[in-house]
């Protein structure tokens, strides 16, 4: 199963076309990712990241919805572990 995670671009560390990179914040965990596939993305934008590559730009409402779903999944997982 493949999973892409939303994050917020905190900074752009390289503007070199194919090697465009940035620091993306995933709920407090900051990682450097490739921004080559989202050339229009800017600092403050939310992006979906898969395997170290930002693959699309999200609006803030979409990102918030995804975060809420991930929180619900984590809560459900905790409940299932406690009842096992």
Enclosing H/E stretch for 54: strand 53-58
Is there a contact between 50 and 2 (Cβ–Cβ < 8 Å)? yes
Task: Locate 59 and state its tokens.
Answer: 């609006």
Which pLDDT band, with edges at 50, 70 and 90, does 1 fall under?
low
Q: What's this model's pTM, rounded to 2 decimal places?
A: 0.79
Q: For the beta carbon of residue 68, count every other beta carbon within 10 angstroms.
A: 10
The tens digit of pLDDT for each residue in 38-60 reads: 999 999 999 999 999 999 999 88
Q: Which of 21-30, 52-61, 74-83 is predicted with the least confidence, judged by mean pLDDT?
A: 74-83
**For 7-23, what is each residue's pLDDT tens digit?**
999 999 998 878 999 99
Domains of the chain: 5-83 (2.30.30.140)
User: Facing residues of 54 across strands?
Assistant: 49
């Amino acid at each position: 199963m493949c999973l892409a995670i939303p994050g917020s671009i905190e900074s752009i560390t390289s503007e070199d076309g194919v090697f465009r990179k940035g620091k993306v914040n995933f709920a407090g965990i900051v990682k450097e990712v490739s921004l080559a596939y989202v050339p229009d993305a800017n600092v403050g934008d939310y992006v979906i990241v898969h395997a170290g590559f930002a693959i699309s730009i999200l609006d803030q409402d979409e990102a918030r919805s995804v975060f809420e779903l991930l929180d619900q999944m984590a809560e459900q997982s905790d409940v299932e572990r406690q009842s096992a």
